[in-house]
Amino acid sequence: MASIELFLKAKFNYFCAMQIGNIDFGNLPLFLAPMEDVTYKSFRYMCKKYGADAMYTEFVSSEALIRDVKKTKQKMTLFDFDRPVAIQIFGHNIDSMVAAAKVAEEFQPDFIDINYGCPMKKIVKKGAGAGMLQDVPKMVEMTRQIVNAVSTPVTAKTRLGWDEGNKIIVDVAERMQDTGIKALAIHGRTRKQLYTGEADWTLIGEVKNNPRMHIPIIGNGDINGPEKAKQFYDQTGVDALMIGRGAIGRPWIFKEVKHYFATGEILPPPTVQEVIQNVKDQLNISAEWKDDQVRAIFEMRRHFAKYFPALPNFRELRIELLRSVSYDDVIRILDQIAETYHDQRVDYTNVSLK
């Protein structure tokens, strides 16, 4: 499609509300990508606070779910602030996935998402996640049976293909649409790439602009700031953008992207004091929900490591923060960071998503 046609189609999409089933997401919504050990309650809350339009739980194992594993069901606990929100399930056995979808439906998500994109070895070696890209007929049949088994709208998330020689997403997207799913999210990498190299949004654009496609297409991969978000949107005209690793340690990225789309202006980066307050809020939400300060600290460590990029001479404080197991010690270190860098802003320019 010629560049001018893409431009006009993107502008048309921008003024059209996106829907999944009867859920109206407004114009060009921003989705928080589902991430294991990341998208739990406290982090979802922070992202929603800054403008994320849709949430996903951490992905849920179908086998654990049908065995009624308590920890797995806890992942599906939803809150009023979450909505609209999806429960994402994964697995390799069709019967188990259908049963899991029925259990997930009992938790009343706004939609149920199927994980066909996780590239991690422990998932893929069982044929689940992105492993399904090696058996597309089974992937399609699994999706069809799940769609037919529940009344809640069903969506899916996948990748471009298994490897460089098998970027089959254009065909897969058509076949997935025919199963009755209500939207498809695409991460612009193959399974073999994991999270290396650059996301290929060209193929995401091919799916979106395929005349046969009529369901919403959600683009995902390498959105690390407002300008990248705008670049990818203008390139593809997707119905929604999904932000994953770019939001870790930077939940206000959703606010930044929306402001840039509305005004063309880049918001100034947050002050260290503002970041510290957000870290404390996220920690306290987690501690309150779990009723366990130590567990909350462990849950936060991945975020601690991302919240303070590019601060000079920060190594020792970072190590101390990541090693602390006492709530009082963590608060003391955070206050020390705020005092040490009181006149600085946290610059996320050129921060790697790796």
pLDDT tens-digit readout, 70-114: 778 888 889 999 999 999 999 999 999 999 999 999 999 999 999
SS3 115: strand
Residues 6+ apart with CB under 8 A from 154: 101, 111, 112, 113, 114, 143, 146, 147, 180, 181, 182
The count of residues in the chain is: 354
Q: Annotated catalytic sites, by residue?
A: 118
Q: Examine the pLDDT at 353 and tell me if it is beyond 70.
A: no
Residues 246-279 pLDDT 10s: 999 999 999 999 999 999 999 999 999 999 999 9
Q: Give the list of residues 6+ apart from residue 201 with CB closer than 8 angstroms, or none.
A: 188, 219, 221, 232, 235, 236
As a whole number of angstroms, the distance between CA 75 and CA 62 comes to 12
CA pair distance 269, 267, nearest whole angstrom? 6
pLDDT at position 246 is 94
Among 13-22, 24-33, 235-244, 326-335, the minimum mean pLDDT is found in 13-22
Q: Is the dihedral of CA 58, 63, 66, 71 positive or negative?
A: negative
For 86, the 3-state DSSP assignment is strand
This prediction's pTM: 0.91
Superfamily grouping for domain 3-252: Aldolase class I (3.20.20.70)
pLDDT of residue 193: 93
Query: What is the average pLDDT across 152-165?
Result: 96
What pairs with residue 290 in β-bridges? Answer: none
The most confident of the ranges 159-163, 303-307, 338-342 is: 159-163
Phi and psi at residue 333, to the nearest 5°: -65, -40
Residues 330, 337: Cα–Cα separation, whole Å: 11
Q: What are phi and psi of 225, to 5 degrees?
A: 175, 175
- The CA-atom distances, in angstroms, between 273 and each of 51, 99, 315, 338 are 21, 47, 18, 5
Rounded (10°) CA dihedral 232, 234, 238, 242: 30
Q: Is 70 exposed, middle or buried (0-12, 13-18, 19+ CB in 10 A)?
A: exposed
pLDDT at res. 2: 46
Question: For residue 152, how many other CB atoms are within 10 A of its CB?
Answer: 22
Residue 347: predicted pLDDT: 78
Can you name the residues that pair with 112 across neighbouring β-strands?
A: 87, 154
Task: Report helix angle 201-208 to 226-236, nearest 10.
Answer: 40
106-109: Cβ within 8 A, 24+ apart: 107/76, 107/77, 107/78, 108/78, 109/57, 109/76, 109/78, 109/85, 109/152
